[in-house]
Structure formats: C-alpha cells, structure tokens
Amino acid sequence: MTPDLTPQFLELIRLAATDLPPDVEAALRQAVEQEEPGSAARGALETILKNVELSRANQTPICQDTGTPIFYVYHPEGWSTRKLRQQIEEAVVQATQKSYLRPNSVDSLSGKNSGNNLGGNYFPTIHFEEVEGDALTVDLMLKGGGCENVGAQYSLPYNTLKAGRDLEGVRRVVLDAVHQAQGQGCAPGILGVAIGGDRGSGYYASKEVLFRRLDDENENPELAHLEKRLTEEANQLGIGPMGFGGKTTVLGTKITALNRLPASYFVTVSYMCWAYRRRRMVWQDGNVSFE
Ligand code: SF4
C-alpha cells in the first residue's frame, strides 16, 4: 500500500523554498564575519542574510527564481512509484498556487509557461530508488537557473589546463569552472563534483552529492583533503559574493567518485548558488519528520 503523502510533500516544498537549511545559514553567517566591514562583499552577504530571515518569517520564496524541483525518492519495496509521482506532482501544483514556487516550467519549443510547474516527465525531475526497510526518504533540491547555467563537464585529459587523469587534473578543472562562473552563479556557491561515470551519471551524481551537509567530512581521506583544498583555493580567486570581490567565493565542496570506462575520465561540476535550498523528509509508520 502506498499512503497518500501529498500534504507532506507540500510541506517539504514549502520548507525548501522558504527556509534555508541551518548549516547553510551558519556558513553564510561565518562568511560575513570574514569580509571587511563596509565592503561590497560584506554588504551582499548581509543583504542575503536579511532576505533569508524575511523569507522564513513570511513563508515567501528565498529567491525569486524558485528553481527546478529535483526529487530523489528512496522508497520501500512494494510502493507504487506511479502514485508517488502523482502525489509529488499534485504537491508541486499546490505549492505553485500558494506561491511557494514561481511558475517556472516552460515549453522549450514554444516558450509557453505551463503555469503550474509541471511539464513532461522531467519537470519536476523525480528519481526513484527502492531501498531496504520500511521508511520513505525524499530529498528535494530547488536548483536555480543561474547557477545551473554555470555547471560544467570536462573530459580529461584537458590539455588547455594541463589537466591529466588524476586528482591534480580534477583540481585544475574544478577551479576553472569556478573561475569561468565568476559571480554569475550567485556566489558564494557550493560545488558538487562527480569524478568518473558517463556524461549523464556524472551530472546526476554531482547533484546528488550536494545533499551532504556542509559541515560533514568525506569518508574517503583523499577526497576529504581535496574538498578542503578546493574550497580554500576557490576562495583565493577573489571573485567574492555575487562577484563583488572578497574572500567568500564558495561555502563548500562535495566530491563523489563513480566507476568509469577506461576510455573516459569525466569531471562534472554542479554549481549551487547561495540559495542552497535542499530539504529531506522521512516517513515511517505514519510519522513524518523534516530535516
Ligand atoms: S542562481 Fe540562485 S540565487 Fe541566483 S537567481 Fe537563481 S536561484 Fe536565485
């Protein structure tokens, strides 16, 4: 039996759209203290933080671009993914009516807006995976268009940057992606990086890894080291909040590694803007909790 969880999905969307996760807000508050008093960088971060507080208090979207809703659904054996999709889509329609989401789904050929954030099989994007146990876990990310535009995928070796098929090569291309983005992805950003896979799975995994908390540590010591190093080095590029210069260009880096064909070595970077809207819902035995 698949229970009707439409109201719970609506609450998940409301939380994601209007209430920035505590770890992201904490990182922004730490960043503001590092910028020079009176600087444009500090001003931009202070404005962002005011906006975060207002959105939470008024239950209004954190940013006017409410992004592409991307759901990762981990469901117990025997649940109907068809019914879960219907419920999630209904919750998306209701969230749009309540203005938690702006109507964002546009037909790519005609330019016509569907008006309710639905459209084909990929808007919203929903990934399903069956898991052991009897709990349903749903992760939701609202991925802004500006930051999605500056995502990048590199095929190594990448000779322009002398980037070979090793972690030093990964480091070079990820820093290049940040440099190319400048402030356009609404810095300070968070980098989701997938090493390996094919082009499709690389982008999938580079978004999935963004569900990790900012303050966690990669279980792989080599990747943990690279995550810290990339964050430090990106922050030395001087791009700063919204591209105004300063010390805070990225808030964190999260890396995952996938198996790949011997012939390919892709590095995929998903750039998430400061409006790092991601939330999790867990349902078990009729009880629901949100993180
Ligand atoms: S990139 Fe992010 S912060 Fe910038 S406009 Fe889009 S959703 Fe808003």
Q: What is the pLDDT of residues 76-100, one digit of tens each?
A: 999 999 999 999 999 999 999 999 9
| Atom 6 (ligand 1) nearest CA | 144
The pLDDT-based confidence of 220 (bands split at 50, 70, 90) is: very high
Question: Cα–Cα distances in Å, from 96 out to 56, 93, 211, 280?
Answer: 17, 5, 23, 19
The pLDDT-based confidence of 75 (bands split at 50, 70, 90) is: very high
The predicted pLDDT at position 241 comes to 94
- List, for residues 112-152, the tens digit of each pLDDT value: 999 999 998 889 999 999 999 999 999 999 999 999 999 99
Place of tokens 């546009």: 106
What's the chain's length in residues? 291
**Using a 6 Å cutoff on CB, does residue 275 contact ligand 1?**
yes
Using the predicted structure, report yes or no on whether residue 215 has a pLDDT greater than 90. yes
CA within 13 Å, CB half, 237: 28
Provide, rounded to the nearest whole percent, the portion of the chain with pLDDT above 70. Answer: 100
The predicted pLDDT at position 1 comes to 80
The predicted pLDDT at position 139 comes to 97
CA of 147 to the centre of ligand 1 (A): 6
Atom of ligand 1 nearest to the CA of 145: 6
The best mutation among 102, 186, 190 to test binding of ligand 1, ranked by most ligand atoms within 8 Å of the C-beta, falls on: 186
Q: Within a 10 A sphere around the Cβ of 153, how many other Cβ atoms?
A: 16
The predicted pLDDT at position 119 comes to 94
Provide the token pair at 17.
């759209």
Provide the token pair at 143.
């991925």
Domains and CATH numbers, the chain: 6-16+62-144+277-290 (3.30.1330), 146-272 (no CATH)
Sign of CA pseudo-dihedral 197, 224, 209, 159: negative
Provide, rounded to the nearest whole percent, the portion of the chain with pLDDT above 90. Answer: 98
Using the predicted structure, report yes or no on whether residue 183 has a pLDDT greater than 90. no
pTM, two decimals, is 0.94
Classify strands 68-75 and 125-130 as parallel, antiparallel or unpaired: parallel
